Structure 1
């Protein structure tokens, strides 16, 4: 239930006008590491799918390395997003029932355990290995689905009015570092294994091009997602429940004042806390006519723009490795060993993240409170549309020799 209050809660007013202080940046890092881990876990799979194809689906005597069958590729790449959708709905509801802090810890532990389990996928046949991998990645996505909205919610409920946009954008910007970290980790691990277990190109020796140790590589990359999640678990447990939840949902304004006084320099006396009562509360249900009248237009606008953005953003990040091969930026698979291919895919995706994704996030952080949410989103959508059309319409132009750099520059934007 949502309510209106005629007398604003003083604890919430104190948070809105509180000066920017160190704990705000601590909250950005703690919540941001959730987005960092979410992005790493969701996109690291795109780095290793070609390696999985070589390991489990190479046909003896074939002139080209094995690839994942289309249905298997779709499942491996997309199953985590099915879990994410389910997790967002479930943990979003649970976060309003139990509080952000409790649910935050639950989602984090699920992410840690399922990241480790994904790397331990097992089976005697390729089908069973992919099946267990998909099972664990679904539940990984389920945990991510809970972490994703709660991280943004917690930051928005801690932030002050003046810098709320920049703080929330900074939390989201950690997603760019997560994508970048995925590429860097894959580069490091593939480089170590390439040096330790050198192997010829597939065209030279198909069997030797995939050393047995390559099966460890994709597992280590997937399991590494548990590291940033585990590192931040302690700090998440130390965070108090947000004052907005404690005061408005749990209806304990005194506890909200006490919690915030521990971490933020806000002046809230016990007498003020006792007077923080919700008065003349007019109740209306979620998705009631009153709710739709007050919030329906904004909810529809934000959800639809996010949906349209994610169609482009996630599909591009998951499948750009295939585009790299198609335009010739990455050599043909048969001219490389399995670990060479992984290294070059990771290097390409790292370059895209470093030169395009990460700067774009921080451009928004710097300007969102200056030019406003509406205009910065409008500019972002316009640039995405323009550059995607510029890549798609003259596609054959970009596939010719000498034009690959132009394609990469366009794709970075």
Structure 2
């Protein structure tokens, strides 16, 4: 085991809140540490998204001590069974998890028992860079499996035997590639990669929701191209999304995103990996059980549009989907132009047409749609110009006034 000093994390909302939690959980006595992602990201100089806390204390004792310190807690039967208690500190929720060891796993779920052994808890984690823990007072990092060296060298590596770790939780296959895309340098760790390739069919046992969530996260990293190409070479997509066979469109999209200055988006990048077919997009979205909004967006990204005017597309399908289409069509400047475009409201109603002399009935809706289409084609002119369009349209239907 090695140790390294790193900065203690900054306070959250309440400057004393985090200190109160650590004090309540005997941080000074070594009973509680920061763990996992916070330690990893802090070492890399990145802003951690969450602070995860691990402790030797039982869930019941965590709850009791936190409440005695005046901190609100929350829990669930499932959470307690897995050792997790939620604590609210300075308006932010933290999860405090009791050290654990796996008793049984089935590739999706684990039955755990509690332990007081930090190394035993670290051994059940997936990758060496995620098994680091840090003293909350001194910043000393505890490393049981070479995670510090792996982090420095940009190597994502399973703890222990890769095939066994994958057998414990099949989602670790996709997690391996996501973490390699984010933290890895060069080619993936050979033993870990080989195990993922050999056990790729294990992904079929996972819920499609879990696969979708992990895949979108993977694609949302800054540059997933090399990782996706490695996955294609190893046949990793074949068991769950066999439609993904080539990364050329993804490469073009990444280039367009950079040119436009548009933030990475996992769903847009998934669209780039699929054949440009709304039917295929719908099939994949349904299989991955994406939300209705995500399904619609994926299908819209695959559907060709007759107009190349960015604002017209944004008006018709929304800014987000228009940006998707424009970037996929390699039009980064147009995408940048409309990224923050505000869709104008059509300032005309059927009542306005009736007031101009049009008889109530089906002709009102038909005429209104025609006027709106002209208004969009002409670049959304002012209300006075639109009123002129309306009078022309009404006259065309009812004839000139006596």
Q: Scaled by the length of structure 1, what TM-score is found? A: 0.19
State which structure, 1 or 2, has the greater radius of gyration over its C-alpha atoms. 2
Q: Report which of the two has the higher share of strand.
A: 2
